[in-house]
Amino acid sequence: MNVYGAEWDVERAPAGAGERLLHVGRRLGGELLGATVFEVDPGWSGLYHLHYGNEELVVVLEGTPTLRTPEAEVQLRPGQAALFRRGDEGAHGLRNDSDRPARFLLVSTMNDPDVGEYLESGTIAVFAGDAPTAGRDAPFEAFFPHDAAIAYSEIPRIPNRNR
């Protein structure tokens, strides 16, 4: 499989800027390790997020995407890589501020289930039945506001009707 090819599994334009995705790990039969090539147009921006169950690693193949982490924002160049650990310290977002497309390989562990958090919107994501993969829905995905959480004791109790 060639990560510099023009064959894509997903072509879409979230928020108006185009992205093309090649699910390398799935095509090669990966079970515990996933990988997706992203080619993103100028103006594209991924959501600033973190995962509680999976680590991710990005390797820039072409272009100069901007990486945002809790520590800084930095423009990456071809050949540069960054690792995003699980939890708060792994928060990250990528965007393309340049005037040319950018291409990068995003590698991830494939732990299922996973819980993610989209930090700017205060949204929690739950993925089950398959590891989260960009452009491909898991059998169960749920997104809800962080402040919608309730305590265990607040879960409604339904009487057992079989008694």
Question: In the chain, what are the domain boundaries?
Answer: 10-154
Alpha carbons within 13 A on the beta-carbon side of 53: 15
SS3 101: coil
Alpha carbons within 13 A on the beta-carbon side of 22: 17
Q: How confident is the model at residue 125 (pLDDT cuts 50, 70, 90)?
A: very high
Closest CA to 35 of 94, 97, 121, 109: 109
Burial 79-109 (b: 16+ CB within 10 A, else e): eeebebebeeebbbbbbbebeebbbbbbbbb
The model's pTM: 0.91
Q: What is the mean pLDDT of residues 113-129?
A: 96
Q: Is the pLDDT of residue 137 over 70?
A: yes
Q: Which CATH code is given to the segment(s) 10-154?
A: 2.60.120.10
pLDDT of residue 163: 60
Q: What is the mean pLDDT of residues 53-74?
A: 98
